[in-house]
A and B are shown apart, each in its own frame.
Chain A
């Protein structure tokens, strides 16, 4: 095939392109994925019974996971546009993890603990956390992959990993409404681990699902 012929073909009837289309699709995927995760949570494990009495700690959990969603989404939005460096948003993703780690360290140094470390870390439902978060993350992940496929990510493994992380964080946000364990070490270890697991799965699936 001659290149001139290809150019001829491609420039026959060129459709105008709507501005900001892929950004909008991405925002929709994020919102719809979050809502879907919340609905799956309601339908499976349900809201925490005494949620009204623990809104303060729920806010801490949400602050942690939603800041991950924010940093991850900023990275993904840049990565769907080829040629836009995404080092800064990528580095930002580590900030929430560091903040929670630092908070745990502060708690460890403060005198007077409410319970022994083992109880604080394992809580009552660590295993539920570990499988519910990836479960709730499945729909947001599919939505994000769909939105990313509209774009043109050039680093597929990394983009997949961050898509997994954002989906995992949305899953964790949904799980927070059920989670009966209110301790920072629990959030750091089990929320962190389940989100990292989602991210790992995303990194493996990324190159397969996102290739263009």
Chain B
């Protein structure tokens, strides 16, 4: 975690990959316990991965990592319960089979569509995320291409990711 805070992309990737495993186990257990569709666990995994990334500066280097990460996971889970309260209903027995029989490849694929989500954030943030995060340009190159200053590219990426994290909650289950 400390390496990824210092901007080490490989360490960051390894960290997120490892976290996704822990989070998947955590959310699958919790989602199953309240009889919801297991596919929703993967949405939550992705939501927390974005949150961990976008809020990584709230991690205090002098403290343990696990309580920090699970506090975020727990917060996102409670948030998910709150906002899906109205969608919660009992599934009639005839339809239950369909749910049980769902293909488990969904384990690593959420119901979210990145392109659709991207279409809903501000154009500036979308452009910045596309350049820096999807096309892999450096901040300086992205600034040149988008005609923004470097710091505004950084701010746009940061805000855009936060906006995406919020959208995931509302988009995926509506």
Contact = CB atoms under 8 A, between A and B. Distances in A.
Interface of A: 1-19, 21-22, 80-84, 151-152, 154, 211-212
Contacts of A1: 46, 109-110, 112-114
Contacts of A5: 114
A3 B139 contact: no
B12 A10 contact: yes
Interface size class of chain B, counting residues whose CB lies under 8 Å from the partner chain: 35 or more
A11 B59 contact: no
B147 interface: no
Contacts of A152: 51, 55, 58, 72, 75
Given A12-B132, A151-B58, A2 B108 contact: yes
Given A22-B58, A152-B55, A6 B49 contact: yes
Interface of B: 4-10, 12-13, 16-17, 20, 42, 45-46, 49-51, 53, 55-61, 63-64, 67-72, 74-75, 79, 108-110, 112-114, 132-134, 136-139, 154, 157, 161-162, 165-166
Contacts, number: 122
Contact of B58 (A6, A10, A82): A82
Contact of A7 (B17, B58, B67, B157): B17
A13 B136 contact: yes
Contacts of A12: 9, 132-134, 136
16 contacts: A3-B42, A3-B110, A9-B134, A10-B16, A10-B49, A10-B50, A10-B53, A11-B13, A12-B136, A17-B7, A22-B58, A82-B68, A152-B51, A154-B71, A212-B55, A212-B165
